[in-house]
Amino acid sequence: MIGRVIFIESINKFSFLVSEDSRQMVFENCYVVSPDPSGRQFHVLSQIESLDEISTPDVEGTQIKANCRILGNYDSSGKQKPLTRPIAYGSSVSLANPQFLRNLFHSPPPSISLGKPLGNPDVPLSVALDDFQRTATLITGTTGSGKTKAVSLILNQFIQQNGACVVFDFNKEYSALVPEEKINLMTPGETFFIGMDDQFIEVFSKELTDHEVDQLYHIYSLYGPDLSSMFRAFESVTVDKMRVRAYKSLERKLRTLSSRRLLATKEKPYEPIVRENKCTIVDLSELELKYQPLFINYLLKLIHSQRKKDIIPATFVIIEEADRFLNTREVPISIIKEIVLQGPKIKINVCLITQRPRFCDEIVLSNCRLQIFHTTRNPLDIETLSRVSQYLDSYYISKIPYLTKGQALISGPNVVFPIFVNIVSEF
């Protein structure tokens, strides 16, 4: 025992007085238990929110008061039961048993470790691999808060367990974060070309006028997928005057993509975009900004269709700077939304990383059920986080600005309750 309850603030908040000989054992975030007032097998699990030094007239020197928040009422196997009566004055408080915490935080392999809880650094927080594959992930935080570091630790564990990853890398930073032998580098215009296929026609159509789309389908049906034949057709086919402008502008757009060496000139043989045990890094650092959405859109459609046919393994797709592609004021990439919503069924975990959640489609964000929030101070971003999270009440939200680099608040359907963690390289 480390103390007794001396004050009850509300149904889920109380304080206890730390006994003299236990002062060294308590710290902020530390997990403590008290007996369930209504049953023997259950324990009321709480977390110390803050520690105050107090002095009372009848005791010499100062004493420590620990202010706690009740997290739930659990039995030793981790089963939860509602707390039917408030915790009682004078109840004993003990440190939570590490095995008890392990049952709550830890999923046995195959699993993905996410970090070490601040209140219990001995047991990593982990989620079962199967659950991880069936969710979408959101990682937010201000610049330098640790988003890329966090995702790199997850992706390496995922590859180790035979998963496949795809990273859209805008800053050439991922090659240094994944072991060389695991990398499959894909560079648009150098090692990868967009095939003139149905996926391309679909994504390219979004950038065209209705007349251009008509012409595109026409010429594709006659001469595709061979690009040179299509270009020859532009020179020889006669079209009525009405359509000539659309025809010319379509030709110009296709020729621009071709001159950037983005398009494959011949029909492409089937190639899987992702491979088991490998991380495909799509290096977009040299690609002009305006072509990046087209490229991402095309690849995501391919991954989606290959995964639906089950010809590629469960895939973890990392999209950095996600606010650029989910911005509701511009044209968001709709396949991202589609995959996030269908992800649980088709085992594509799309991980959206953003510094600016305030610009993103909130339906997409709220369907990313595993949420890893690093620090941010922007009030608009914080408001967005509170709207898109299903698990965080105002207490948790209020702590986000005070997290330090490498710390995060993690919540989700497979995380027992929101947990503050340190993201660490070794578990």
356: partner contacted, choices Mg ion, ligand ATP, none (Cβ within 5-8 A by kind): none
- Shortest Å, Cβ 144 to Mg ion: 8
Select 206 or 405, whichever has its Cβ closest to Mg ion: 405
- Shortest Å, Cβ 153 to ligand ATP: 8
DSSP string, 128-156: EHHHHHTS-EEEE-STTSSHHHHHHHHHH
Stretch that binds Mg ion, among 141-149, 239-247, 337-345, 404-412 (CB under 5 A): 141-149
Select 133 or 140, whichever has its Cβ closest to ligand ATP: 140
Q: Find out whether 229 and 335 touch, Cβ atoms under 8 Å.
A: no
Q: Is 148 in the site for ligand ATP (CB under 6 A)?
A: yes
Select 10 or 143, whichever has its Cβ closest to ligand ATP: 143
Select 77 or 143, whichever has its Cβ closest to Mg ion: 143
- Shortest Å, Cβ 145 to ligand ATP: 4
Report phi then psi at 233, rounded to 5. -65, -35
DSSP string, 202-226: HHHHTTS-HHHHHHHHHHHHHHTT-
Q: How far apart are CA 283 and CA 106, in angstroms?
A: 35
Select 312 or 423, whichever has its Cβ closest to Mg ion: 423
H helix or E strand, kind and range, residue 373: strand 370-373
Alpha-carbon distances, residue 315 vs 118, 209, 293 (angstroms) = 30, 34, 20
Report phi then psi at 167, rounded to 5. -120, 130
Residues 379-418 contacting ligand ATP, CB under 6 A: 405-406
Q: How far apart are CA 158 and CA 181, in angstroms?
A: 15
Does a cis peptide bond (omega within 30 degrees of 0) precede residue 272? no
Residues 17-76 contacting Mg ion, CB under 5 A: none
DSSP string, 247-272: HHHHHHHHHHHHHTT-B-SSPPPP--
Stretch that binds ligand ATP, among 33-41, 73-81, 146-154, 186-194 (CB under 6 A): 146-154
Q: Find out whether 336 and 319 touch, Cβ atoms under 8 Å.
A: yes
Residues 339-378 contacting ligand ATP, CB under 6 A: 355
Nearest residue to Mg ion, using CB? 148
- Shortest Å, Cβ 171 to ligand ATP: 7
- Shortest Å, Cβ 192 to ligand ATP: 24
Select 3 or 141, whichever has its Cβ closest to ligand ATP: 141
Q: Which residues make beta-bridge pairs with 14? A: 8, 68
Pick the binder of ligand ATP from 230, 254, 382, 423 (CB under 6 A).
423
Select 199 or 292, whichever has its Cβ closest to ligand ATP: 292
H-state helical runs in 57-124: 98-105
H-state helical runs in 265-400: 292-308, 334-346, 362-367, 379-388, 394-399
Select 142 or 215, whichever has its Cβ closest to ligand ATP: 142
- Cα 298–chain centre separation: 21
Mask: binding to ligand ATP, 101-140, rule CB under 6 A, as x and -? ----------------------------------------
Q: How far apart are CA 137 and CA 385, in angstroms?
A: 13
Q: Is 156 in the site for ligand ATP (CB under 6 A)?
A: no
Q: Is 146 in the site for ligand ATP (CB under 6 A)?
A: yes
Binding site for Mg ion (CB under 5 A): 147-148
Binding site for ligand ATP (CB under 6 A): 141, 143-149, 355, 405-406, 423
